[in-house]
Amino acid sequence: MQPSTQTSLMKRLSQYFLRGLITILPIGLTIYLLFTLVAWSEAFAMQFIRPIVGNFYIPGLGLILMACIIVLAGFLISRDATARLLNWVELPFTNIPVVKSVYNSLKSFADYFSPQHREETAQQVVILRFPDQPIEIVGLITRNHMQGLPPGFLPGDRVAVYLPMGYMIGGYTVFVPRDWLTPINMSVEEAMRSSLIAWMSTRKTP
C-alpha cells in the first residue's frame, strides 16, 4: 500500500472515529446519568421501605417513593410554620464561612428553577446591539426590572442580560437599556447549547 493511500485511509478512519464519538458520547452520557440517578434513588428509598415490605419488590417502587417524598417536602415547605422551621435548620449552613458559600450558591441555583422565579424573570433570548456599533451578542434576559437592587445602578428602563461564553461554563451579566435588545425566536436551551460550542453547529436543535 502506498504511503499516500495509507495517510488517506488513516485520515478517513480518524474522521469516522470522531463522528462516531460525537454521536455516541452524548447518548451514552445521558443514559449513564439517568441510570445512575434511578439506581441511586431506588437504593436510597428501599432502605426505608425494606423493613415494611420485606422482600417484596416492584421495579420503580423506590423512584416513586422518592418522588412522593419530594412532593411532600414541597407541600410542607409551602406552609408558614414549616418555612419558619426551615429557617432554623438553615442557620448552620448559612453562617459557617465555607459551608455558607457552597450552600447559598446551590440554593440560588435551585431557586432559579422555581415556578415563582420563572414567572418573575420571564427569561427571553435576545440580541444585544450597542448603539452605533456593528456588533451583535446573543444573551438571556435574567431580570426584567431594577427593583430590589442596592443604590448605585443607573436609572431608567434597564434589564439584566446574561452573556454566556463558548467552550466553558461561565459568562457575564450586564445591565443595559431595554431598547438595546431585540427578542429572537429561540428557546433558552437552544441558545445555551449554541453558545457552548461558539455557534459552530448549523443544525437547528429541537
Residues 129 and 136 sit within 8 Å (Cβ to Cβ): yes
The answer, yes or no, to whether residue 202 has pLDDT greater than 70, is no
What pLDDT shows up at residue 177?
94
Residues 140 and 162 sit within 8 Å (Cβ to Cβ): yes
What is the per-residue DSSP string for the chain?
A: --HHHHHHHHHHHHHHHHHHHHHHHHHHHHHHHHHHHHHHHHHHHHHHHHHHHTT---TTHHHHHHHHHHHHHHHHHTSHHHHHHHHHHHHHHHHSHHHHHHHHHHHHHHHHTSHHHHHHH--EEEEEE-TT---EEEEEEEES--TTPPTTSPPSSEEEEEEEPSSSS-EEEEEEEGGGEEE-S--HHHHHHHHHTTT---SPP-
The string of pLDDT tens digits covering residues 67-109 is 887 788 777 777 777 767 777 777 777 777 777 777 776 666 5
Question: Which backbone phi and psi does 185 adopt, to 5 degrees?
Answer: -80, 85
Question: Which backbone phi and psi does 142 adopt, to 5 degrees?
Answer: -110, -10
What pLDDT shows up at residue 150?
86
Higher pLDDT, 143 or 113: 143
What pLDDT shows up at residue 180?
95
The string of pLDDT tens digits covering residues 19-49 is 888 778 878 888 888 888 778 877 777 777 7
What is the rounded average pLDDT for all residues in the chain? 78
The answer, yes or no, to whether residue 147 has pLDDT greater than 80, is yes
The answer, yes or no, to whether residue 133 has pLDDT greater than 60, is yes
What pLDDT shows up at residue 68?
82
Question: Considering the entire predicted model, what is its pTM?
Answer: 0.47
Domain boundaries, the chain: 120-196
Average pLDDT on 113-117 reads 54
% residues pLDDT > 70 (the chain): 80
The answer, yes or no, to whether residue 179 has pLDDT greater than 70, is yes
Question: Residue 130's Cα: distance from chain center in Å?
Answer: 28
pLDDT-derived band at 205, boundaries 50, 70, 90: very low
What pLDDT shows up at residue 65?
77
